[in-house]
Chain A
Amino acid sequence: MEKKKLTEGIIFVAVGVVLMLAAFLTESVLDGIFSGFAGGALGVGIAIIIKYFRWLSPQNAEKYRKIEEQKDIAVHDELNIKLRDQSCRIVYKINFWILCLSMPAFSILGAMGVIKEYKIIVMYLFALLVAQVVLGCVVFNQLRKKYC
């Protein structure tokens, strides 16, 4: 296993410790968020470090090499790439309609008095929709420049 994985694990643990100290030593409204992120970072970091030392042992080295090779094949497999591209396109369309329909839904709920701060939600959804469409066009044009 590559040494950079160990470095990655150590960085996660370090970030987790810093966030934990920030949560316990300071009195702020963000203590809960710091604690949550600290737990996540520590968990991920410790898991990476344990995995690194486990795969380091000689009896596991060959097994690990085969697993990594299979992962590499799966990531670069052309059918998997095609399916990932198609699923992203489908999800983009579904997300587009979810955003379009959510705005009137929240506006109606706001007008009926069910949600108080509906305006900020609707504005955020609108900004997300515009960002999605604009970024989609930008990325498409960049890719077209690359291939044409």
Chain B
Amino acid sequence: MENLVEKLRKERGLNQDEFAEAIRVSRQTVSSIERGKYNPSLELAFTIADFFGKTIEEIFIHKGGTEDGKEKTD
């Protein structure tokens, strides 16, 4: 799943290690989430959203959704 985790993390000036420590996961998990290789659990998604002060939908782009939250129409 595409997401804005890397972008938001860099805006905060954090490296992966610091961000991982802040949300209590391993650096490898952060890397996997940012590359879209791993979708976090609901609990972790909420933790990430709370950390950035955004909603889950604003950070994780679900299929059919777009970056600005508007629905794609065919």
Q: Which residues of B contact A73 (CB under 8 A)?
A: 20-21, 24-26
Tell me the complex Cα distance, A80–B41, Å. Answer: 13
Closest chain B residue to A77, Cβ basis:
B26
A79 touches B32 (CB 8 A): yes
Closest chain A residue to B26, Cβ basis:
A77
B38 within 8 A of A: yes
Tell me the complex Cα distance, A78–B32, Å. Answer: 12
Tell me the complex Cα distance, A106–B40, Å. Answer: 46
The bracket for how many chain B residues form the interface is 10 to 19
A109 within 8 A of B: no
* Chain B CB within 10 A, most for which of A78, A79, A80: A79
Q: Which residues of B contact A74 (CB under 8 A)?
A: 26
B14 within 8 A of A: no
Closest chain A residue to B21, Cβ basis:
A73
Q: Which residues of A contact B38 (CB under 8 A)?
A: 79
Q: Which residues of A contact B66 (CB under 8 A)?
A: none
Closest chain A residue to B38, Cβ basis:
A79
Question: Mask for A49-69, Cβ within 8 A of B = 1, else 0?
Answer: 000000000000000000000
Listed in ascending order, the chain B residues whose CB lies under 8 Å from chain A are 20-21, 24-26, 28-29, 32, 38, 40-41, 44
A and B contact pairs by CB, cutoff 8 A, 12 listed: A73-B24, A73-B26, A74-B26, A78-B25, A78-B40, A78-B44, A79-B28, A79-B29, A79-B32, A79-B38, A80-B26, A80-B29
Q: Which 3 A-B pairs have the closest CB atoms?
A: A79-B29, A77-B26, A77-B25
